[in-house]
A and B are shown apart, each in its own frame.
Chain A
């Protein structure tokens, strides 16, 4: 987001101080990229090289073995599958439920509508850490502890408040006249929702889908809270498992991290535009 803000300013001053901008941004970019380059280098080294020369030294070896080890021993493939199931289910459910809620709250005089909205938002302001034990206990009571279903329910629950709030703001900005026209033409509530509101919300939905999919995909905390079987772990928890209690094969951990970063990177590049607009949804009202 910093980039999005800086670029326009820089463009305006292109003729005067362009080189200052490039100098400063090159330095910042380098700083930003360094950890990634470091991880990539570690992933390409052998374990013996790391234990002999140290983690921070220049590479003395080149091998792709770590990627194979991470893939085979870390159950990365299975974990990726779990992550994709959870992410897809959560994104679809959360957007569907949140858009319904936002539609109702923004277009109908619901008693205590504003209070409902504020309560939903307030839930998001609580640090999730204080809810870990209650959530795990409740899942236990419901008998869904240690299932992907529990993870999906929890993620949907926690996403719902924020997404309803954002979509509420967006739907409020849609002109009232359109709804009146639709009603005069005889469209019912569901028809209005499906054929007018949803298409109009597409930019907001796309942005939120992009955001939510990276959030859910990168989540570790909830996965650790409701799951305990390693074959059900999503990718983040599987990555944590690559780290040993005594010895950590840093090259394998680094290689695993790179593999795991690929899906998020794809989502980011595919929805790049939406990310920036997603972060700005509701700002430019």
Chain B
């Protein structure tokens, strides 16, 4: 199979090019703009082939997905990988184009729901019922994958967790241990600072969204997941007493951050953690990919300790997966491919090859081969009562931009919190209003 595929792809490419040249040439000559689509459509109907547009450009996940797709032999499938920022910018172009990619990688939750509300996504409800590929996935994942009318439009295949990551050997060297209460956590920060170590690192330079990690968690710990969701949906004001309380707690952490972090990206901010100049990093499990290979086993984490005992436990677990274009011409083939990608075997193959500490969404994946860190992460998410994703995934990229502006300003001038929250609410209002 591996030999015919490339030659077939080449043929298609050459064919498309030639068809394009003919169509474009004739259109240019005759000045006719209308009839350009016919040959291209005819070409793809004659032979069912699928396009999978992927944003996974990190080397290992990319290689892992290539391998998984190579294993899919039922329909010829072309995998396109496009760097994530470009993918993000062009996603709506992909989905609205006349001949869109059939299957696309992206995020579950409000982002997918947004596209579904415009009628751009394929209804995948039958995959979630009966003996469909996603039928056994957890109800939390099902609701995350549903649009506002209750149809499922998303196939989640993996997710990861956020927590406070640290190096076991570093904690042993300094004679400290992971805290379980908020007071212990604050005392630990003070102790570490006394030893000349930056207790916390964070990369809020060009990756300003990292500042939302602590905001999300403090809101989850102080006001709870229900409030957090409503806040991001526009049902509460950022300029409210509840958010003010979150910011006041955030302000007590600011002296413990590595001050250089404001100019770092998240990846650069991992360096102090790696070489033990900083102690702790609230970040997603993808942080392990920034570690030198030999030190990955030394990484451990603890959940942000509870602050308000009356709110249920909650963790952030951004969920990744696939959706399909509503105007795909091969609905059956698309669902077959999605079912393949969602199967326990392929989820496991992907996770093991991608090396990015992701968790499977299928309950049938045999997790015994996963690293202790990943198994601990799975347990964390199993035991928690509420799951959210992340600021942008629970709201929108537009609302994330308002958070970035407000929170980075807050990190630089924590004293101006009153005006910052007022401006934030005003900016958010515009996003919700539009």
Contact = CB atoms under 8 A, between A and B. Distances in A.
Nearest to A148: B17
B17 to A, nearest CB: 5
Contacts of A48: 292-294
A270 B376 CA distance: 59
B370 interface: no
Interface string B397-419: 00000000000000000000000
Interface stretch (A10-18, A24-32, A238-246): A238-246
The interface size bin for chain B is 35 or more
Given A141-B36, A241-B82, A247-B290, A252 B20 contact: no
A246 B83 contact: no
A150 interface: yes
B63 A147 contact: no
B13 A232 contact: yes
A245 B36 contact: no
A147 B271 contact: no
* B contacts with A: majority SS: helix
A53 B275 CA distance: 7
A244 B37 CA distance: 34
Contacts of B80: 228-231
B78 interface: yes
A140 interface: yes
Interface in A198-229: 224, 228-229
Contact of B270 (A51, A147, A230, A231): A51
Contacts, number: 129
A54 B268 contact: yes
Interface of A: 47-48, 51-55, 69, 73, 133, 136, 138, 140-150, 153, 224, 228-232, 237, 240-249, 252
B27 A142 contact: yes
A245 B84 contact: yes
A241 B57 contact: yes
B119 interface: no
B131 to A, nearest CB: 34
Contacts of B56: 245
B21 A149 contact: yes
Contacts of A138: 33
A231 B13 contact: yes
Interface in B39-59: 39-40, 51, 53, 55-59
Closest 3 CB pairs of A and B: A244-B58, A143-B36, A245-B84
Nearest to A48: B292
B313 interface: no
B319 to A, nearest CB: 15
Interface in B197-246: none
B117 to A, nearest CB: 21
A244 B86 contact: no
Given A51-B291, A149-B17, A228 B83 contact: no
B97 interface: yes
Contact of A140 (B27, B97, B267): B97
